[in-house]
Amino acid sequence: MILLKFIFFIFIAVFVMLLFIAYKFYKVITRTRRRFRPEDREKGVNVNGNTIVDHRPDYKRNKQVIGDDEGEYVDFVDSDTTSENKKL
């Protein structure tokens, strides 16, 4: 009878160990799958070796900063600096 109890105990212990190993394997697989999921990757801009990650929503990120009625356009005037120096 003692031998049967010992074999049953060993069987339960091995079963629990297998369940624990299977659980750990499942956790590693799900963590790895989550890490490489493309929709969860942060979109960043690489500037001088530094990655800038913007967590704002798309509508705020793509918002136009300067309105269409405000412009930064300046007419280009080609000036000859040598002629200005001679006039002085």
- The answer to whether residue 13 sits within a structural domain is yes
Answering whether pTM is above 0.85, one says no
- The answer to whether residue 47 sits within a structural domain is yes
- The answer to whether residue 49 sits within a structural domain is yes
Q: How distant, in Å, are the alpha carbons of 12, 16, 29 from that of 25? A: 20, 14, 6
- The answer to whether residue 59 sits within a structural domain is yes
Query: What's the total number of domains in the chain?
Result: 1
Residue with tokens 């659980």: 23
**Opening angle at CA 22, ends 20 and 28, nearest 5:** 105
- The answer to whether residue 50 sits within a structural domain is yes
- The answer to whether residue 88 sits within a structural domain is no
The parent domain of residue 31 ranges over 2-63
- The answer to whether residue 48 sits within a structural domain is yes
- The answer to whether residue 84 sits within a structural domain is no
Reported as a single tens digit per residue, the pLDDT across 7-22 is 999 999 999 999 999 9
Reported as a single tens digit per residue, the pLDDT across 44-87 is 666 676 777 777 888 887 887 777 677 666 677 777 666 555 55
